[in-house]
Structures are given as structure tokens and as C-alpha cells.
Structure 1
Amino acid sequence: MTKVDPGALERLVDALPDGAVLTDPDLIAGYRQDWAADPDAGTPIAVVRATCTEDVQAVMRWASQHRVPVVPRGAGSGLSGGSSAVDGGIVLSTERMRAITVDPIARVAVTEPGLLNVEVKKAAAEHGLWYPPDPSSYEICSIGGNAATNAGGLCCVKYGVTTDYVLGMQVVLADGTAIRLGGPLLKDVAGLSLTKLFVGSEGTLGIITELTLRLIPAQLPASTVVASFPSVESAADAVLAISGQIRPAMLEFMDHASINAVEDAIHMGLDRNARALLLAQSDTPGAAGAREIENIVGACEKNGAKEVFATDDPAEGEAFTVARRAVFPAVQAIGSLLLEDVGVPMQQLPALITGVESIAEDCDVQICTVAHAGDGNTHPLIVFDPTDPDMTERAHAAFSRVIDLAITLGGTITGEHGVGRLKRDFLPGQLGDDVMELNRRVKTALDPLGILNPGAVFP
């Protein structure tokens, strides 16, 4: 780590708007960690709250000159330690970059990265349009962070993930160069697909300062099915049966521990005795939508559901969706969490879910599992007490075993949260040596000094 003299830091302060640079230790402390609460997060020398692309350029030019690491940060809602601060570095926050314009003719939104996902949705809705990607944290996560991690959400089984909606961007490279990639075109194959390279790069290749997002017509009202099951196996089998017939607008899974954590938190009247619950929706209109609901109900009943409830009341459907979104904070109220984000091919979903149950029993830890079941992306949440060394060791052992299980089943260590720092050391096990080396070559080409989010993604 290069030690920065006070005079150099003062020159950075002078190059930026008043109040953009924070050096007060008490204020800096709030920018050290994201929601993953990485215990190894460092202490930066300053936090920069950029207001525009030019601010970001000034920071990167200064950082390149002095070889100071820069950790980009959105809303701090990440779950993989991707924005954990590093000692002696700069945290570059985009929270103040919040401009947005919507073009209803081209059906695009041009937005700065600090706007929240929910605010992008609201801006689109004012023009009768919809931005589909919807992480459970959509009310508090930034659109820039969504792009940096290629976030997904509840609707992605039918509507896709963030990369499917990013048409273009402005990005600042490690040396301070600002480039524009893509734009408001649905079809554009000129040159390499560099826009897609930066989506999901977790701030290791450049800092996104503007996004051009594809919008679609507003979603039609959805019908909802909620089914409770006597076992996770039967629920997983129902997921495969549903997916083999239709592509629902939503297909979510909650296990027994998750159901009870949510019921403790918001008192929805969920079946506390159920071993698993499925939440499915169809937004297909008319008779075709009615048939989809019939297929979902039939698949649940044929696979042993104890109770199946169907409704076309949007308010009732939204209430169950709120319950599903409440899982993370509800489980977090039980204890500290190690958050998994593993995904597998659909046919391996039953093996993954039952395997996680076995790992919880073997390691003697509580694991609450929820899943975007329709696309095989699961979130086993390992609950532990960090003040108990033995339990902490068992929790980390379970964390590793869940990742190994996913890889063995042909899956991924992260479906939507990103690698960050918490899963960095597991990445070679999934990608292999040749692909890891290719990743490193791309990283080195764009960030030869290694100052962009060091310690994230790359072991």
C-alpha cells in the first residue's frame, strides 16, 4: 500500500466540489462495509461522494498518479463484500449521481448510477413502462450496483436479469478515461460486446457513471398461487413439473425455517407447519393465463401439496410477494448470516435443496433456504453467532460445503449477488485455471496498476 501524504490528499479535495471528500473517521466508518458485514473490511483514507462523471475521472486520475486503490460503492446493499473498503484506499460513492430521463418513444431510460432500482421503476411507470429486474432489496439498492453485479430478482425467470436491459453505458477506466459503450439501440453488433463485459464486473474493470436501460410495456396484473408442501423434495419436484409446462412470471421457494422467520416478523398467517412453500405467478392475460394457473395448481397438487391457494386479486398476490421479499431481514433478526447465492441447472434443484438440508444437519447449524426456484438460483442463509468460535467455524465449513455442492452439480457459486470478497477464493474451483487466467488478462489490460477494487473477485 502506498502511503499518501496529506498534501496529495488536499490536492484531491481541491479538485472536487465542496463537501465531496469525507475524511472524518466517524463518517468514513459508515462506508467501510456493505450488507455482508465483512469483518476484514479495511479503513480508507477518504470517501469521495461523486456528483458527476468528471468527479469520477478526477478521482481515478489522482489514484493512478499516486497508486491508491479505489473501491466503487453504490447504496451499500451488496451481499458479497464487493464494496468492502481497503486500508489506505478511497471509497468512491455514486450515491449523489441521481439524474434520470425517460424516452417513451425509444423505450429507454438514461440514468446515473446512484438512483435506486425502485426510483427507476417509478420513473418508467410515469410513462406506462416497466423496468423488470427486481432484487428483493429493490427499494434500497442502486441501479449502478445492480449493473455492477448483474442483479436478478423475483421476475427474472420470465423477464431476465440486469444485463438483458443494459443497452449502453458511460464508464470511467482506471486511468480516468471516460468511454461510451452501446446506446439506445436494440440491435447493434458493431465491435466487441464491451457493454456486457462491464455488466457484472463488480467495479474491477471500470466505474459506471451512466446507464441506458431498455424499458418494456407495463406488466399486466398477475394471478398468484401459494402452495404448502410436506417436504422440500415435493416442493422441488413441483418446481420441475411447473417449469416443464410453462414459464411463470414468478416461481419462488421458501423452506420451513424461512417461513417461520417471516411469520415471526410480519405475521402473514403462513402455515408454520409446512416444510416448504411455493409462490408462483402468471401475468399472461385471458384464457391462456387461466390455463397457466390451472397448470401450476395441478403440478402442486400432483406433487403432494398440503394446501393450494389461488387468487387473481393483485393486492393478495402482492401481500405474498412482500412476505417473500421479507426473508432476508427476517432471518437476519435471528443472528448473523453467511449469505449463499448458489445456482444449479433446473434438473439439479432437488439435489441442491436436499443437499443443503444434509449439510445443515452435518455441521449442526441452521440454514434457512429461499430460492428463485424458477431459474435454479437459491439463497441458503447460514445463521450463526459470531461470538461463538466453534459455531463460527461450523458455519464457515457449511458455507464451503454448499459452494462445493453447487459446483459438483454443475452450478455456480453466485447467481446474482456477485463474487465480491467473500467468494473470491472459490472462483477458480468453478472456472478452472484457463478461464481464470483469461479473466486476469482482461483485468490487467484494463487496470494495469491493480487499483480498481483490489481484493474483489480475483484471488
Structure 2
Amino acid sequence: MSTVPQPTATDVVALLREALGSRVDTAPEALEAVRADKSGHASAGAPLAVVHAASVADVQQTLRIATATRTPVVTRGAGTGLAGGANAGAGEIALSVRGMDRILEVRPDDLLAVVEPGIINAELNAALAPHGLWWAPDPASREISTVGGNIATGAGGLLCAKYGVVRDAVLGLDVVLADGRLLRLGHRSVKGVTGLDLTALMIGSEGTLGVVVGATLKLRRLVPGATRTLAATFPDVRSAAVASAAVTASGIQPAIMELMDAVSLEAVHRLLRLPPPTPGAAQLTIQTDGPAAAVEAEGIADVLRAAGGTVALAADEAEGERLLAVRRAMHPAMETLGTTLIEDVSVPRSALPAMFDEIARVERDHGMVIPTVAHAGDGNLHPNFVFQGTEVPAAVWDAAGDLFRAALRLGGTLTGEHGIGVLKRRWLADELGDDQWQLQRDVARVFDPLGILNPGKVFAV
């Protein structure tokens, strides 16, 4: 019995070029660029080609060829991920949707916009502002990350404690399946519960179920009213975490509540050439917004003072932005210390003090310093493991695993917004349990029977 020969890499590239012409890029520098993301993790080899899709049809053609030739496909946006989830490697097609960056429709009356996946988060909001609208998800990477990438990872950010994460801000998705079929999921209405919620299933699926080629986004109106920003310092990070939990318990809802430990605060002050902070001090930076911003800020200040904080209220919005700039400079500050593995765990907000206790324990047990910032308003922490070189040392992974298990013990989760990708897949079953882990793998195979979409990520063993 004769067998059909498997297409070679050359055959696959030839088929892509025949269908997509100059959109197929095999230049060495293009192949190298899609091997890594902002995590520093890189795939073991270079992909066959990068397809620079400009339309839904380009995506469909690519996936039809991939299915016919059994060639894996890794969807790529701006490459700003922190879990290795969009890194393309040997034998794979890197499908870039970065060039699909149009706003297709804005409906102020319905509070929605329809966009392509490659549009940058901040550029979308700049375009929405003249309509008196904005899209709430606010990741720290908003100036460089795409809406499609935000959707793929279920991103959050500084504002999500009050305004929610990506899952709360998407009404519908256009998705191309592995075999090239186009699905239109979700709805344009405020309510819609017909059938299973496949839109929610796609959000955070990291390219393992399909390729997002369009998104119907739920918008908010820009509400007139000043913001008020304050910073409060505490003698140690645990005291700051207790104070943040007290703010949550008070019932006042800040738009932003960010916590920086002593090491991260000192590094940022050094980077920005600010006066050194008090040794050991941690800082909460909080912003209120809307018509009640001033009253809420004063109420929060009272809570923080009662918790032992030294509070400084910004005189105006410009000074408030300078306070927030300290928090936003965290990642560049860490880069001055060495190579950084930026991690991402979440715990119930009341468990923040206990999680900082666990981080201190991991530091002692493993003999390392772990600078940590937190979206204290929703319990999402970003411990940073700093090391020298390009490969994460085994000792760092041991410490990270210890920290992950501590978060799970406290009722938390492995990731609040970065996703699983490559870097956390070994711990996924620890959180889900064997039955749910297998069920999720089975669901993925319904959408992608051949297993060609982003293989080796999330569910891989």
C-alpha cells in the first residue's frame, strides 16, 4: 500500500508563496524576530516563514494550506507577551496579524466598536476619544500591545479592578478555525445568551482554538470629571498589603490601586533619578476618577492613614501622572538589574498580605531577592526573578514553582493576565486537576483536530 509523501518545508513555502505572494517572508531577520517575546524565552529554531496577513482571506488561505500539509501555525501580534505563547519555532508557520489594524466601525449609540486584531491598544483609545468613548482594558503594555494579543491572553492592567478585564469588554469575535472556516461568535446586543458562550471560550485561549481576525468591543463613555491620585508609603510591604485590603473592605472603589515593594520602588527611583525612598518602604499608588473622585480620594486617604500610611495627595492631574509614572517604570527599572522573568499570579484580595509573606519565605528558602509589584485592587501580583544571562537558571524555576504553589494554596491562580504559554504549562494541571486539564485538552481538539494551532503551548506536556 503506497503512502502519500509528506510535503517538505520547501513545498509548504512554495504553496504559501503561490497563494499569498509577497506576504510570505523568509528573510533570516524576519524569522529570527518571531522566535521570542518580551519574556526573553526563544524557540529552539526558526520557523519556515512569516506570513504577514492583511485580510481575513489571507488568514484563511494560510490555515487551509497548513491543514492540507499538516504544518503547525503560531499566530503573532506585536510580540509583547510574557509567557512565550506566540513564539514560532522550527517547522512552523508564523502567522502575523499585526498588519490587520483597522477600526472597521464605531457606534457611539450602541457603545461598541468593531476592530481588526492588529490595532495597538493605546492607538484604539486615541481614535475613540473624539467620539467620547474608550475601551477599558489597560495593560502596562498598552502602548505596544495589540487588541488581538490582549484578547488571546485575557489581559488586564492597572484599571481592571474597577473596569474589568478583556473578558468583560468583548461582545463578539470573528475567528478562523484551523481548517480555514470563518466563525462569527457572540453578538452586538448588550444581552445575548443563545447557546454556549464560545466568545468567552476564545478569550484567553492563546491561539490554540482559532485565529481572531475581528473583535466587537464593548466601550464606555468618557465621563467628565477630574482624577485624583495619591501615594502612601508604609514601613514594609506587608503593611501596604494590609492597607490595600482595608481600602477594598471600605467599599470605596478606586480606579487604580498599585503596590510596589521596597526593592522595586528603589530601582524605579534610581532609574528616574528621584530621591531615594526610605529603606524598606513600600508604596501604594491609588487613583480615583469620575464626579466623586475628590471625595473618594479623601476617604481612601483616611483609610490609609488609619492603617499606618504616610499619604501624599497629588495637587493636580499632572502631578498625579508623575506619581503613576513611578509605577509604570517598573519593567524598565528591572531591566537595569539584569534579565527578568516577570511572573504573574493572582490571589483573593484579602490574601495579599499572606502572599507577600510567602514571597518573603521563597526569598529566604531559595536565597534570592524577588522584586514584586501588584495590582492590589484585584489581587494580581507580578514577582520579578532577576538573573544574568539569557536562559532562566534551574534555581529560578525552582523558586518560581514554589511561589506558584503558594498562590494556589491561598486560593489563587497561576496567571491573572499573562497566560500560560510555554513558561507555565508544567504547572497547569496542578491548578486545574487532572480531569479538568484533560477536558480542556479535549475541547481544544474539537476546534483543532490535527493539533496544528500553537502546538507546544498551554496544554502540552
**Partner SS, residue 126 of structure 1:** helix
Q: Do the aligned residues in 1 keep the contact of 2:230 with 2:311 (CA within 8 Å)?
A: yes
Separation in structure 2 between the aligned mates of residue 270 and residue 295 of structure 1, nearest angstrom: 28
C-alpha contact (below 8 Å) 1:50/1:97 kept by paired residues:
yes
- Map 1:4-403 → 2, pairs under 5 A: 4-16=8-20, 18-100=21-103, 101-219=105-223, 220-245=225-250, 246-269=252-275, 271-286=277-292, 289-305=293-309, 307-311=310-314, 313-386=316-389, 392-403=393-404
SS of the residue corresponding to residue 270 of structure 2 reads: helix
Q: What amino acid is aligned across from residue 43 of structure 1 in structure 2?
A: A
TM-score, normalising length: structure 1: 0.95
Matched, 1:445 2:440: no
Query: Is contact 1:117-1:138 (8 Å) kept?
Result: yes
Amino acid aligned to 2:236: S
Name the stretch that deviates more: 396-405 or 157-166. Answer: 396-405
Deviations 1:311-340 (A, max 9, x none): 251111111222211111210221111221
Shift in Å, 1:360: 1.6
**1:149-208 deviation line (CA, Å, top 9, x unaligned):** 110000000000011110111100011101111232111111111111101100000000
State the secondary structure of the residue aligned to 1:115: coil
Amino acid at match of 2:256: M
Give the partner amino acid of 1:189.
V
TM-score with structure 2 setting the length: 0.95
2:118–2:147 CA contact under 8 A, matched in 1: yes
Q: Is the 8 A contact 2:100 2:117 kept in 1?
A: yes
Pairing 1:423–2:424 present: yes
CA-based RMSD of the aligned residues comes to 1.6
Displacement, 1:5?
Answer: 4.2
Are the structure 2 counterparts of residues 98 and 39 from structure 1 closer, same or farther at C-alpha, using a change threshold of 3 Å? closer
What is the alpha-carbon distance in structure 1 between the residues aligned to residue 414 and residue 131 of structure 2?
38
> Contact between 2:53 and 2:59, CA under 8 Å: does it hold in 1?
yes
Q: Deviations over 1:337-372 (max 9, x none)?
A: 122100001111101112112212221222110010
Structure 1 runs not aligned, ≥5 long: none
Structure-1 separation of matches of 2:297 and 2:12: 63
Count of residues in correspondence between the two structures:
452
Q: Which amino acid aligns with 1:154?
A: L
Q: How far 1:124 moved relative to its partner?
A: 1.2
AA of the residue aligned to 1:405: A
Q: CA deviation at 1:146?
A: 0.2
- Contact 1:112–1:211 at 8 Å: present in 2 too? yes
Given that 2:70 and 2:452 are in contact with CA atoms closer than 8 Å, whether structure 1 keeps it comes out as yes
- Determine helix, strand or coil for the equivalent of 2:216: strand
Query: What residue identity is the alignment partner of 2:406?
Result: L
State the 1:39 CA deviation: 4.0
**1:240, 1:347 within 8 Å by CA — same for their partners in 2?**
yes
- List 4+ stretches of structure 1 deviating above 4 A: none
Q: How many Å apart are 1:27 and its aligned residue?
A: 2.0
Q: How far apart are residue 8 of structure 1 and its match?
A: 3.4
Taking the aligned partners of 1:32 and 1:254, their CA distance within structure 2 comes to 32
